[in-house]
Amino acid sequence: MLRGLYDRVVELSKGRYALPALAAVSFAESSFFPIPPDVILVPMALANPAKARLYALVCTIASVLGGMLGYAIGALLYDTLGHWLISLYGYGQGIEAFREAYAKWGAWVILIKGLTPIPFKIVTIASGFAGYDFFMFIVLSFITRGARFFLEAELLRIYGEPIRGFIEKRLTLVTTGFLAAIVGGFLIAKYAF
C-alpha 135/C-alpha 133 separation (Å) is: 6
Residue 153 lies in a domain: yes
Domain count of the fold of the chain? 1
Residue 133 lies in a domain: yes
Q: How confident is the model at residue 144 (pLDDT cuts 50, 70, 90)?
A: very high
Q: How confident is the model at residue 136 (pLDDT cuts 50, 70, 90)?
A: very high
Residue 26 lies in a domain: no
Residue 40 lies in a domain: no
Q: How confident is the model at residue 112 (pLDDT cuts 50, 70, 90)?
A: confident
pTM for the full predicted model: 0.77
Residue 84 lies in a domain: yes
Residue 29 lies in a domain: no
| Cβ atoms 117, 181 nearer than 8 A | yes
What is the residue type of 152? E
Which pairs count as long-range contacts for 50-54, CB under 8 Å and 24+ apart, including other chains?
A: 50/157, 52/153, 52/154, 52/156, 52/157, 52/160, 53/150, 53/153, 53/154, 53/157
Cα angle 167, 168, 174 (rounded to 5 degrees) comes to 35
Q: What is the pLDDT of residue 175?
A: 62
Could you report the per-residue pLDDT of 12-42, keeping only the tens digit for each?
777 788 899 899 989 999 988 877 888 888 8
User: Domain span at residue 92?
Assistant: 2-18+47-192
Residue 92 lies in a domain: yes
Residue 23 lies in a domain: no
